[in-house]
Structure 1
Amino acid sequence: MKQLIFLGALVFVSCASSKFDKVNGVSFVSSGEEVAQHHIDPVLEVQANYAAIMPFGFIQDVDSPELIFNTDRQWYGERREGARQYIEKLHQNGIKVMVKPQIWIWDGKFTGNMKMPSEEEWEKLEASYEDFILLYAEMAEETQSDIFCIGTELKTFVDERPEFWNDLIQKVRTVYNGKVTYAANWDEYEKTPFWADLDYIGVNAYFPLCEKQNPTVETLTKGWQPWKSKMRELAERVDRPVLFTEFGYRSMDFTGKKPWLVDRNQERVNLEAQARATQVLFDEFWNEDWFAGGFVWKWFMQHDQVGGRGDNRFTPQNKPAESVIRRQYAQVKKSSI
């Protein structure tokens, strides 16, 4: 009888805790230097159990097919050598990793608008992009990284070249044995065609929630409902959990209006709005069984030199939002996902 009670308790604990077995991640920004323990300590202090490592490739313009990557002209953390060192240091500290290679277009043009002018140029881009992705998929396998992301916000590329992406997924699977996702922008994920071939529905969660200058919890919560319903329906339809490959808010007025904005606007700093929006996101998603967790955007290595009370950018570091994240992430320190 005691054994049955004990087993029942175990089942109950397991079911109750499964809600909190989430990816509690930070997007670990590449730097020009090696990562050291004092760079990792703040990640541990915020109770993160995952970090996204983001090597970069560079393209001249939205219609340029040549992708430049893994060169000595890049920052250390943006190329293979540095990404590997970051991953190994994070793993030494018990932090799991998502490898998330990304493209940067000169002048900060949106990667979702990349479109080649001819079949020949498309094929050149595909060959270059495949080399880029497989280089880092192989590195992800060598380092036993936990998740690999095959692309970030490449809507037109995905729409125009579906066969390429189907082939790329299969090629990634031949060299990498972990979980695989794609980071779709908030306005593209519903039409991304290959979710059933991946392990997570990856979403960069910059959904517009409201027009208010200083939105309340109630306003932000209401703003999430239509987006949340659509994500739940997709997760159930394709039988894959949603993973926020990026999420976060600017610490400024109107933070819920256009959360994707990366411009250097002079909107008034609003630390409380960022913290409030972050808490609402946690409240809405982290207890959902169809939701896998996410990676806050963005986390810099030099913790003591970034963020703070005068900063209206994305990082939560040294702001009230950092405490919100710590409280949430502390509910589970190790993910079983």
Structure 2
Amino acid sequence: MSGWGGVRGVTIGPIENQRHPGRGYGTAASGRAMDEAVAMGATWVSLTPFGRVWDGKGTGVDLVFEAPFEENRRNVLAAIAQAHARGLKVLLVPHLWVESGEWRALIDPGDDAGWARWAESYRRFLLTWAAVAREGGAEMLSVGVELRSWVTTPRAASFLPIIEAVRGVYPGLLTYSANWDDVEHTLIFDALDLIGINAFYPLAEREGASFEELLRGGRKVAAGVDDVARAWGKPVLLTEIGYTTRRDPAVRPWEWPDRMKGVVVDQRSQAEAYAAVIAPFLDARTCAGFFVWRLYADPDDVSQEAEWGFSPRGKLAELVLRDAFTARWAADGPSLLGEALGRHRARTPGLFGWELDPDE
């Protein structure tokens, strides 16, 4: 309905650590990452600035992360400008980094007074980045990421005034990035424009599953997402999808690569997992699109994750994504005569081929 078509998105993760000068958002390296996203066929990028939370008690959000906030703000604005200069739209996703290693979904400030302090601190954090999104002209903003202990409980009522305040600051589209296993219990979607899901769904229950088994799992996931979209009467955006480069990544795709040991690197397993989860969504009218997790602000900096990490860059999975991004999706709306001529278009992700004739 927006005329934008399906969201073909890539998350570009920050490299803001001061030990990596010249490699973060807004740098020449970041521009190269944007160029690679365009070459892949992406039409959107997701940028993920972080705030720091010390532990799961939720005492407050510190805007300083790796570098002073004003520096990060300038860098994010520069990265938004880089994206727009290349014709890319931007989803800004203010994220929480919990220093203790606890999962942000389980933050629990304790009693009512603790929750009130936490809500006010989070409100300041989110409104600060909402103002950045407005200033940079980002097309979409996520109001939160995996805040299960808040937005799936009766305390979700305290989140609604925060969304209303964001509406007063930021004029673009709003979503929220629910975890895949709690989206059906999230209570704030009425106040938002799109249902966001961090979609690290398992596609199989056993190791060594065949591609056909993975594809059946992908169809089951797509059917469940369609049910969620129809229940709320809103489109779904997969704010993160991703698989690590290892054997059987689709069994427990949420496992973080830094914590793995004795990993067998397996590009084909990663590629097949992507193909199996993406293919059913291409014909889903209720799915607005997805963001791949993830590339980095310096595409040449391989220090950000292990060889078996999530990045599809330079791997078989990148071929799957190129095929998917250049295919026609149900979310694109009616096609225009001749628009596909000369495009790289593989209507079935994973073929790794060039289909120059749209009638073949």
Task: State TM-score, norm by structure 2.
Answer: 0.82
**1:137-216 maps to which residues of 2 (within 5 A)?**
137-158=130-151, 159-216=153-210
Residue equivalent to 2:221: 227
Residue equivalent to 2:358: none
Q: Is the 8 A contact 1:69 1:79 kept in 2?
A: no
Looking at structure 2, the residues matched to 253 and 336 of structure 1 have their Cα atoms a distance apart, in angstroms, of 33
What's the CA shift for 1:196? 2.1
Residue identity opposite 1:302 in structure 2: D
For each residue in 1:218-263, what CA deviation from the matched residue of structure 2 results, as whole angstroms up to 9, or x when unmatched? 1112223443322212211211011000001111112111111114
Distance of aligned partners of 1:284 and 1:78 in 2 relative to their CA distance in 1, 3 Å threshold: farther
- Residue 81 of structure 1 pairs with residue 65 of structure 2: no
Q: 2:6 aligns with which of 17, 22, 28?
A: 22
5+ residue gaps, structure 2, are: 17-23, 334-360
- Residue 284 of structure 1 pairs with residue 284 of structure 2: no
Looking at structure 2, the residues matched to 177 and 332 of structure 1 have their Cα atoms a distance apart, in angstroms, of 29
Deviates further, 80-89 or 27-36: 27-36
Q: Is the 8 A contact 1:200 1:240 kept in 2?
A: yes
- Residue 116 of structure 1 pairs with residue 109 of structure 2: yes
Residue identity opposite 1:326 in structure 2: R
What's the CA shift for 1:336? 7.2
Deviates further, 128-137 or 258-267: 258-267
Q: Is the 8 A contact 2:180 2:200 kept in 1?
A: yes
Looking at structure 2, the residues matched to 89 and 75 of structure 1 have their Cα atoms a distance apart, in angstroms, of 21
Residue equivalent to 1:126: 119
Residue identity opposite 2:27 in structure 1: V
What's the CA shift for 1:104? 0.7
For the residue of structure 1 that corresponds to 2:273, the secondary structure is: helix
Looking at structure 1, the residues matched to 161 and 99 of structure 2 have their Cα atoms a distance apart, in angstroms, of 28
What's the CA shift for 1:174? 1.2
Residue equivalent to 2:294: 298
Task: State TM-score, norm by structure 1.
Answer: 0.87
From the two aligned structures, give the one with the greater helix fraction: 1
What's the CA shift for 1:328? 1.4
Q: Is the 8 A contact 1:56 1:79 kept in 2?
A: no
Q: 1:318 aligns with which of 291, 303, 314?
A: 314
5+ residue gaps, structure 1, are: 1-13
Deviates further, 268-277 or 152-161: 152-161
For each residue in 1:193-217, what CA deviation from the matched residue of structure 2 results, as whole angstroms up to 9, or x when unmatched? 1212211110000112213334322
Distance of aligned partners of 1:115 and 1:236 in 2 relative to their CA distance in 1, 3 Å threshold: same
Deviates further, 73-82 or 262-271: 73-82
What's the CA shift for 1:66? 1.8
Looking at structure 2, the residues matched to 243 and 77 of structure 1 have their Cα atoms a distance apart, in angstroms, of 30
Aligned length: 316
What's the CA shift for 1:78? 8.5
**1:240-255 maps to which residues of 2 (within 5 A)?**
240-255=234-249
Residue identity opposite 1:128 in structure 2: S
Q: CA RMSD in A?
A: 2.4
For the residue of structure 2 that corresponds to 1:293, the secondary structure is: strand
Distance of aligned partners of 1:192 and 1:132 in 2 relative to their CA distance in 1, 3 Å threshold: same
Q: Is the 8 A contact 1:56 1:78 kept in 2?
A: no
Q: Which has the higher contact order (CA 8 A, sep 6+)?
A: 1
Distance of aligned partners of 1:38 and 1:230 in 2 relative to their CA distance in 1, 3 Å threshold: closer
Looking at structure 2, the residues matched to 21 and 214 of structure 1 have their Cα atoms a distance apart, in angstroms, of 36
Distance of aligned partners of 1:248 and 1:200 in 2 relative to their CA distance in 1, 3 Å threshold: same
